[in-house]
Amino acid sequence: MIIGIECTAHTFGVGIVHKGKILANIRDMFMTESGGIVPIKAAEHHKLAAESVWNKALEQAGIEERDIEYIALANAPGLAPCLLAGLHFAREKAVKLGVKIVLVNHCIAHLEIGQSLGAKDPVLLYASGANTQILAYESGKYRVFGETLDIGIGNLLDKVARYAGLGFPGGPKLEKEAVRGRYIELPYSIKGMDAAFSGLATKAQQLLDAGKTLKDVAFSIQETAFAMLVEASERALAHTGKKELVLGGGVACNARLQEMCKIMCKERKARFYCPEKPLLVDNGAMIAYTGEVILRGAGKEILLNPENIDIKPRERTDEVDVSWR
């Protein structure tokens, strides 16, 4: 029985997994009416939410604290104050319960949960707030085939939404706006396998200043930015000869991005996989699930005593030794 704690940015989440089965997945997200995330405020939110999210997860799974055998903690990458809030909470619980901890990289958890749907050796399009990468497993690591050269795609959407006076998170709000929008041409900036989004953000802001409607701007940003990601993903499939695409990360909730990926996969006879929303956005279940996958593959030597854990706010996906695979 493994319990996972997510706390790397805006969400405090606790999930419980047993033999690959998700028994609980409870989340409490720091949101704003206007403006973005202030790391210290998000960390305060996590400290306040932690105990009740933990208890609700136990209740949902129908287990007692003493049934827990391991704790999985997302210790990287993310906002340092948020990571520390999670670390302190995990440490306190581990000491109380007398259990050890397995550390999980948040980005890798988005990837592993995507592969829980049955993909064997996929290309992964990881599209979230701070991160945007096209990855595939090769010789012991998740290698980066392409990535954003500046901001993550979710940050692009959040930035434009914030400029338009909408709060955080902005992606879902722009998606609703985009439904009735019409296309305005925007800078399409892809260099090799890498994409850049900040020019798009600036142009979108200029269009709003010039009186273009939010629905047209939202539609056009989605069409342009998603096309860039789908183009690079298709090229990664072609280069690697792989036949599966897994979509993950919070922006993967977007129905239009899913649709574009599906069309591309159908055209080149690749299989497409995308988890359900509660597993796409930041959540504790993906951390617990990945913790269990790591333990199963790498063995118990990977476990740490609570006093020996630390945070790694800047750890990159391709720095992690995927020793469990």
Please state the length of the chain. 325
Spatial distance between the Cα atoms of 116 and 52, rounded to a whole number of angstroms: 28
Reading the block at residue 47, the tokens are 């400290």
By CB under 6 A, residue 175 contacts ligand ATP: yes
By CB under 6 A, residue 13 contacts ligand ATP: no
Positions 252 through 291 that interact with ligand ATP (CB under 6 A): 253-254, 281-282
C-alpha separations of 105 from 78, 115, 189, 242 in Å:
10, 15, 29, 24
Q: Is the dihedral of CA 132, 251, 118, 291 positive or negative?
A: positive
With CB under 5 A as the contact rule, the residue among 25, 75, 116, 128 that binds Fe ion is 128
Residue 158 interacts with, from ligand ATP, Fe ion, none (CB under 5-8 Å by kind): ligand ATP
Helix or strand run (H / E) with residue 292: helix 284-298
With CB under 6 A as the contact rule, the residue among 13, 81, 86, 152 that binds ligand ATP is 152
By CB under 6 A, residue 9 contacts ligand ATP: yes
What single string gives the DSSP state of each residue in 58-70?
HHHHT--GGG--E
With CB under 6 A as the contact rule, the residue among 25, 128, 133, 290 that binds ligand ATP is 128
By CB under 5 A, residue 148 contacts Fe ion: no
Only one of the segments 30-38, 120-128, 142-150, 296-304 lies at the binding site for Fe ion (rule: CB under 5 A); that segment is 120-128
Residue 152 interacts with, from Fe ion, ligand ATP, none (CB under 5-8 Å by kind): ligand ATP
Only one of the segments 112-120, 184-192, 246-254, 312-320 lies at the binding site for ligand ATP (rule: CB under 6 A); that segment is 246-254
What are the φ/ψ torsions at residue 249 (nearest 5 degrees)?
90, 165
C-alpha separations of 120 from 81, 88, 110, 325 in Å:
36, 36, 16, 11
By CB under 6 A, residue 250 contacts ligand ATP: yes
| Closer residue to ligand ATP in complex, CB, 97/186 | 186
Spatial distance between the Cα atoms of 271 and 119, rounded to a whole number of angstroms: 8
Written as one letter, the residue type at 133 is Q
By CB under 6 A, residue 130 contacts ligand ATP: yes
**Residues near ligand ATP (CB under 6 A):** 8-9, 106-107, 110, 128-131, 152, 154, 157-158, 169-172, 175, 249-251, 253-254, 281-282
